[in-house]
Amino acid sequence: MLQSKSFVRKTKQGKVVKVVREHYLRDDIYCGASSCKVCDSSGARLTSSASTILIVDTNVVLNQIDLLENQAIDEVVILSVVLEEVKNKNLAVYNRLRALCSNSMRKFFVFSNEYHRETYVKAMVGESPNDRNDRAIRVAAQWYQNHLGNATRVLLITNDRENKRKATEEGISAETVESYVKSLGQPGLLDLLVQPPSQDLGMEEVEDLRPSKRKIIYTEHKPMSEITAGLHRGIYHQGKLRVNRYNPFEAYVGSESIGDEIIIYGRPNMNRAFDGDIVAVELLPQDQWHEEKSLSIVDEEDDEEENVHLVPNSADDAPRVTNQMQGSVGDANAVLSRPSGRVVGVIKRNWHSYCGSLEPMPMPAGSGGVAHALFVSKDRRIPKIRIQTRQLGNLLDKRIVVAVDSWDCLSRYPSGHYVRTIGEIGDRDTESEVVLIENDIDNRPFASQILACLPPLPWSVSSEDLANPIRQDLRHVRVFSVDPPGCKDIDDALHCTALPDGNFEVGVRIEMTPEAEIISTRYTKSVIKSCAALSYVEAQARMDDSRLMDPLTADLRNMNALAKVMRQRRIDRGALTLASAEVKFQIDTETHDPLDIGMYQIREANQMVEEFMLAANVSVAAKILEHFPLCSLLRRHPSPTREMLEPLLRTAAAVGLNLDVSTSKALANSLDRAVGDDPYFNKLIRILATRCMTQAVYFCSGDLTPPEFCHYGLATPLYTHFTSPIRRYADVVVHRLLAASLGIYKLPGIFQDRPQLTSISDNLNYRHRNAQMASRSSVELHTLIYFRKRPTDTQARIVKIRSNGFIVFVPKFGIEGPVYLTGRGDKGSGEWLVDEQQQKVKKIDGSISYGVLQTVRIHMEVVEPQPNRPKLQLTLI
Amino acid sequence: MEFVSPEGLRLDGRRPMEMRQIRAEIGAVSRADGSAVFEMGNTKVIAAVYGPREVQNRSQQINDQALVRCEYSMANFSTGDRMRKPKGDRRSTEISLVIRQTMEACILTHLMPRSQIDIFVQVLQADGGTRSACINAATLALADAGIPMCDLVTSCSAGYLNSTALLDLNYVEDSAGGPDVTVGILPKSEKVTLLQMDAKLPMDTFENVMQLAIEGCKAVATYIREVLLENTKQLEYRRGV
C-alpha cells in the first residue's frame, strides 16, 4: 500500500483555506472481469465472454443516462472519477447510475481508479481539473487494455473531440456515442440518444410556421457569475418557478428577497424555465406590470385552454392568487400591487422525463427514417418538446415518455429524446400507468428480497405464537371489524366489553368510563378471533335496527355512544370538521368502466371507527414520545397563517359571513354557525376552508420543539399514524417504535440516526402527496371516461370569480372547472366587470350578474379540442 | 454524505477496518528525560516527559506515590487556519485530564513517592484522533524516560458512519457528527484504561465499534514495541555493548 498526499485548495465562505488530505493508493482494487486471472473475481460483474468492455466519459453519463439504462448497453466500467464528477454535477443522474451499478441484472462495474496505484493521476502544473479527469479516464482505459490483454477490446466512449483524439494517439480505441450505437445495429436505440445541440437547426420543419411566432427568440441566459452578483446586489431575485396549473403561460416565483410572489407572463418572459426550476428573476419596470391579465383564466394568446380539474385539497397545490387590487375596478388609475418580472437565468433545472403523446402529423416521405416530431406532455405546465424518432409510425398513437435535454435560445421548444412507450392512447390501463409515472409511483412487484422477509404462505397463527408470553390471547373476547365495503385489508378490529364496575373496555385496549374518560391504556400484542367482519353500511344498519338485541349490536351501540362523547369533546377542544370532495365510482365488474359517480357518503359508523382510531393514534403517539423523545415519528398539522386563510375570508365576506379565524376553536365555531339557506352551503364553506390549510406532515420528533408538534385540524398536541400498518409505511415505523418501547423488540438501528429518520419522514410526505395527486388524477381520468358517453346537465356552485368567467364546483360529482362567459373567439372581455369586494361578475349594462357561491345550472360534456387531450367542458345553460 | 462508498472505500481510500499509516520516533527533545513524536496519518503529536523529580509545589506532594501531571496543548499552526486559542480552554483541560488519568493507570506511582512526573504533549498537526495520538506519544516518551510502568498504554479511536464501523477516523470523518469511540488499553492484560464516547449507539453496535478500536490499539502496541526494541538496540550499539 502506497501513500501519497493530495493538496487541495478549497474556498469556504469566501475564505481560501488550504486543505491537506491523505490519499491512500492501493493494489487490492480489482478489475471486475471474471475472466481475469490476476484479480480476485468474487466481486466481478463483467462476463468472461465479453469481447468489448465500455468505459464511458462523464459527459456521456450525464447526457445519455437513458441510453445506459437500456438493456442493450452492458459490460460497462464506471470509473470512480466519472462517478465523482457526475455526483457533483447532477445528483439525480448519479443516483440512477448508482442504481444501475448495484443492479445485479446489469453488468456495470465500478472501478475505483482514483485509489488504484497504477491508475491514479496527479494533476500536472497548469492542467485544469477537467483535463486531469479526462487524462485519468484515458489512463484507466489504457490500464484496462494492458491488464486484460488483446482478447478483449476496451472501448472508450466519449463525445469530447479532444479527448477522443488524444485517446487514439495513445493507442486506446475510442468512439463517440452515436457511432457506437449505430454499430450495434438497433435503430430503436438511436431514439434514446440525446442529440448534440448543433443538430437542432435542422428542425425548422416542425417549427410553428405562423409568421408572428417565428420571430420569437429567447434572450440569452445570464452567466452564473453575473447572476450571483445580481442576486447579491438585489437586482435579481431567486426563487422556484411555479407554472399556473390553469394557464401555462403564467408563472409565479416566490421570492424571499421581496417577500412577495413575482408574476411572470408569457413564454418569452419565462425564458425557457420549466416548472420547478430555481430561477433568477429581474423585475420589470412598474409601467409594464400587467393589469388584470392574471385574473383571466385563459390567456388570449394561448391556443390551449384550461382543463377541468378536481378540487385541490389544500393550499399546497393551488396557486396562491391573492390579488390585492387597490381602488375600485374600472378606475383608470388602478395600480396593481403585484410585481411582474422576467427570468434572466436558470440556477437549477428541474428537468425530468414527462409522459404524453406526439402531436399528430403526417408521415414524412422518405427522410431516411428519421422524423422530427413535437411531443405534447400530459402535464399542461410543460411546453411542447421536440424529439427525433425513427419509429414515428409506431409512436403516433402511443403514450410515450420523453426526457428533456436542452433548450436553445434560438428554438421555440425545448428538444428532448424518446425514452420509452407506455401503451395505446385512451386505453384505461395505459392512462392509469401514465398517472402512476407522472406521480413517481413505483408499481413494480415487491422484490424477492422483500418477500423473503415474510413468513411462507399459507400462514396461520402457530402454536408458538400462542405460547409466546408477549402475545396475549384475546380470542375469547367478542371482537369485530368495521371497514369499507369490499375492503381486503381488514384492519379496524374493535371490541367493547362492559366491565363489572360499570366501565367499558374498548377496542384498541383502551379502558374508559361511561363518560368516555380514558382511565388507563394498555398496549399489547395479541391474538384475536373476529366474530364478524362488518362494512360501514352493515354496522350502521345494525345500530339503527331497534329490533336487534344481540350482544354484537349492543357492543356497537355502546361504542357509538362513547364515540359520540369523544367526538363532542374533541370538537369542544377546537377540532375542525373539514370537508373534502371525496368521490366514489361504481365500476362495471366486466369492463372496469365507471358506471356511476357520487360523493362518498359518511355514516355514523365511519365516524365511530374513526373516533377510536384517533384515540388509539393519540395514545400511541404519547407512548412512543415518552420513550423516544428524539426519534419518534409523529404527524403534525401546522396552523394556517392569516394570509393563507385570506381567500376564504374574502369569499365569506362576499356572502355576508363573518368568520373568526383567530384559533382553530373559533374557526370551528364560526364554521358551525355558517348555515345558509340550503343544506350544501355549510359543506361548501368547509371545503373552501380545507383548501386554505396546508397538509398534515410526518416528522421526526427530534427535529422540532414540542409546541410545533400540534395537530391543528384535530386539535391535539400529539398525533401519529398507527392503526393501518398494512397500507401505510408510517404505521409500520410507529409499530416498531411502540414494540421497542414495550421492550418486545430491540429498537432498529435507523431510529438512532436522526438524519435517516428525517429523510424517512420526508419521503413519507413526498409519497403521500404523490399518492394523493395520483388518486386525484385517476379520478379525473375515470370522470372523463364516465362523461364521454353521458353529457349531463347539473347544478353547480360558483367558487371563484374571474374576468371572463368563473370557476364552478359540481357537488354531485366533486368536480371543479371553469365556465366561460365570453366566447373563445371574441376578445370582448370588457363586457363583463369583476367586483373584487363583492366577488361578483356583472354584465356592463348590469342586466346579469353572478356572485360567488351562487347556484348555476351547467352542462357537462367531454370535448377534444386538441387531439389526444380530451377534457371535460362545462357550459352555462 | 457518503463516507463509505458502495465499493467499500473511505474518502481517503482506506477500507473501513484500516488504520492510517503510523510512524513513531523516540528522542525528539534532547533536554527532556524522555520524548517522542507520534504520527497517525496527518495527525502529528510531540510528547516530552520530565521526571521523576522533586515536587515543585510542596502542597501537592503525595507521601505514598508520585504526582503525575499532564499538559496538553495544540500548536497555533496545527490546523489549517492560524487561530490563537487561549491556553487552558475547556477542551485542552479535559484532554489533559484524560491523558493524565490514562497514564496514571500504568505508571507504578507507588515506587516513586514524594516525586513528580510531568508529561507535556503538543499537537503539531491535527487531522482527527489527536487524543489517541497524544496517549500513544506519551507512552513512548514515558518508556523513553525509563519510568516504571506495568504495561504500555495504547489508544485508538473508531467511529460509526453510514452503518459501518470505521477504524481511526480522520478529521473529515470525525466532523461528520457521528459517534467517536476512543479506547485506551493495556495490551498485555487487555484491560481498558480509557473509554470515551459522546454520542448514543445501540449496545450491540457499540460492542462492534469498541472491538474494532481495541484491535486498533493492539496494532498500535505491536508497532510501539517494535520501535522501542529498535531504540534499545540503537542504545546498546552506541554504548558498544
- The set of cell numbers assigned to A607 is 365516524
Contact B33/A at CB under 8 A: no
Task: State whether residue A181 is helix, strand or coil.
Answer: helix
* Residue A335 grid coordinates: 395600480
Our CA-based measurement puts residue B12 at a distance from the nearest CA of chain A, in whole angstroms, of 5
Q: State the cell numbers at A523.
A: 398496549
pLDDT at A8 over 60: no
- CB nearest A115 (choices: B13, B41, B205): B13
The pLDDT score that the predictor gives to residue A307 is 41
Question: Could you tell me the pLDDT band of residue A310, with boundaries at 50, 70 and 90?
Answer: very low
Q: What is the 3-state secondary structure (H, E, C) of B110-144?
A: HHCCCEEEEEEEEEEECCCCHHHHHHHHHHHHHHH
On whether any CB of chain A is under 8 Å from the CB of B175, the answer is no
Q: Is the pLDDT of residue A94 over 70?
A: yes
Confirm or reject CATH 2.60.40.10 for domain A224-348, answering yes or no: no
CB pair distance less than 8 Å for A110 and B6: yes
Tell me the torsion sign for CA atoms A681, A683, A684, A686. positive
Distance CA(A107)–CA(A71), nearest Å, equals: 10
Is there a contact between A22 and B6 if contact means CB atoms under 8 Å apart? no
Within A355-447, residue ranges assigned H as helices are: 392-395, 428-438
Can you tell me the distance from the alpha carbon of A103 to that of A109, in angstroms, rounded to the nearest whole number?
A: 10
Mean pLDDT score, A360-367: 64
The rounded distance, in Å, linking the Cα atoms of A96 and A65 is 8
Domains of chain B, by residue range, sit at: 22-239
Query: What's the ipTM?
Result: 0.89
Mean pLDDT of A552-577: 78
Q: Are B7 and A112 an interchain contact pair (Cβ–Cβ within 8 Å)?
A: yes
Per-residue exposure over A8-31, b if at least 16 CB sit within 10 Å of its own CB, e if not: eeeeeeeeeeeeebbbbbbeebbb
Question: Residue A487 pLDDT > 70, yes or no?
Answer: no
Q: What percent of chain B has pLDDT over 70?
A: 96
Q: Is the pLDDT at A190 greater than 80, yes or no?
A: no
Range with lowest mean pLDDT among A664-668, B13-17, B203-207: A664-668
Q: Is B7 on the interface with A (CB under 8 A)?
A: yes
Torsion of CA B169, B175, B181, B183, to 10 degrees: 60
Q: Is residue A335 predicted with pLDDT exceeding 70?
A: no
Residue B166 forms contact with A (CB below 8 Å): no
How far apart CA A281 and CA A581 sit, in angstroms, is 37
The rounded distance, in Å, linking the Cα atoms of A666 and A659 is 8
Residue A838 has pLDDT above 90, yes or no: no
Q: Homologous superfamily of B22-239 in CATH?
A: GHMP Kinase, N-terminal domain (3.30.230.70)
Over residues A394-399, the mean pLDDT reads 81
Q: What CATH class is the domain A26-185? A: alpha beta
The pLDDT score that the predictor gives to residue A327 is: 33
Distances (CA, A) of A634 to A336, A610, A727: 43, 18, 17
Q: What is the pLDDT of residue A292?
A: 44
- Give CATH for domain A352-438: 2.40.50.700
**Comparison of pLDDT for A526 and A427, the residue scoring more:** A427
User: A692 falls in which pLDDT band (50, 70, 90)?
Assistant: confident
Q: Which of A347-356, A416-425, A450-459 has the lowest mean pLDDT?
A: A450-459
pLDDT digits (tens, 9 = 90+) for A273-295: 888 888 888 888 777 675 544 44
pLDDT average, residue stretch A386-406: 82
CA distance A852 to chain B (A): 52
- pLDDT attached to residue A9: 56
Query: Which residue in A613, A594, A610 sits closest to A602, CA to CA?
Result: A610
- The region of weakest confidence among A160-174, A561-575, B136-150 is A561-575
Q: Average pLDDT of B214-227?
A: 95
pLDDT at A332: 36
Q: How confident is the model at residue A540 (pLDDT cuts 50, 70, 90)?
A: confident
pLDDT confidence of residue A830: 57
- The 8 Å CB, 24+ separation contacts for A194-199 are A194/A63, A194/A64, A194/A66, A194/A67, A194/A405, A194/A406, A194/A417, A195/A388, A195/A405, A195/A415, A195/A417, A196/A159, A197/A406, A197/A408, A197/A415
Three-class SS of residue A737?
A: helix
Helix, strand, or coil (residue B176): coil
Q: Which has the higher per-residue pLDDT, B130 or A596? A: B130
Of residues A113 and A475, more confidently modeled = A113
At residue A25, the pLDDT reads 87
A77 bridge partner residues? A55, A109
pLDDT of residue B103: 94
Contacts of A840 by beta carbon, 8 Å cutoff, 6+ apart: A654, A801, A834, A849, A850, A851, A852
Q: What rounded mean pLDDT belongs to chain A?
A: 75
- The residue in chain A having the minimum alpha-carbon distance to the alpha carbon of residue B205 is A749
Mean pLDDT of B9-20: 92
The pLDDT, as a whole number, for residue B207 is 94
- pLDDT surpasses 70 at A515: no
Q: Provide mean pLDDT across the span B185-199.
A: 92
In tens, the pLDDT along A32-55 reads 887 777 787 777 777 766 678 889
Cα–Cα distance, A69 to A234 (Å, whole number): 43
Share the mean pLDDT of chain B.
91
* CA contacts within 13 A on the Cβ side of A445: 3
Query: Which of A16-25, A331-340, B105-114 has the weakest average pLDDT?
Result: A331-340
Distance linking the first and last C-alpha atoms of chain A: 84
At residue B102, the pLDDT reads 94
| Rounded Cα gap, residues A388 and A374, in angstroms | 9
The rounded Cα B144 to chain-centroid distance in angstroms is 15
Please give the Cα distance from B209 to B189 (Å, whole number).
20
pLDDT score, position A215: 53
| Statement: residue A312 has pLDDT above 50 | no
pLDDT (mean) for B188-205: 90
Provide the pLDDT confidence category of residue A582 given band limits of 50, 70 and 90.
low
Q: What is the pLDDT of residue A194?
A: 73
**Interface residues of chain A, partner chain B, Cβ below 8 Å:** 3, 5, 15, 17-26, 80, 98, 101-102, 110, 112, 114-115, 746-747, 749, 752
For chain A, the structural domain boundaries read 26-185, 224-348, 352-438, 594-775, 790-876
Q: Give yes or no for residue A527 having a pLDDT over 50.
A: yes
Residue-wise pLDDT for A623-682, tens only, equals 888 888 888 888 988 888 777 777 778 777 777 777 777 777 777 777 777 776 666 777
Of B12, B200, B202, the CB nearest to A23: B12
B205 shares contact with chain A (CB less than 8 Å)? yes
Which pLDDT score, from 0 to 100, does residue B49 have? 97
Query: In the predicted model, what is the mean pLDDT of residues A854-871?
Result: 77
Q: Does B146 touch chain A (CB under 8 A)?
A: no
Same fold yes or no, A352-438 and A790-876: yes
- Nearest by CB to residue B9, choosing from A18, A115, A749, is A115
User: Rounded mean pLDDT of A341-352?
Assistant: 84
The SS3 of residue A361 is: coil
pLDDT at B138 over 80: yes
Output the pLDDT for position A369. Answer: 64
Of A300-314, A407-421, A750-764, B169-183, least confident by mean pLDDT is A300-314
Residue in A with minimal Cα distance to B173: A21
Domain A790-876 annotated CATH 3.90.105.20: no
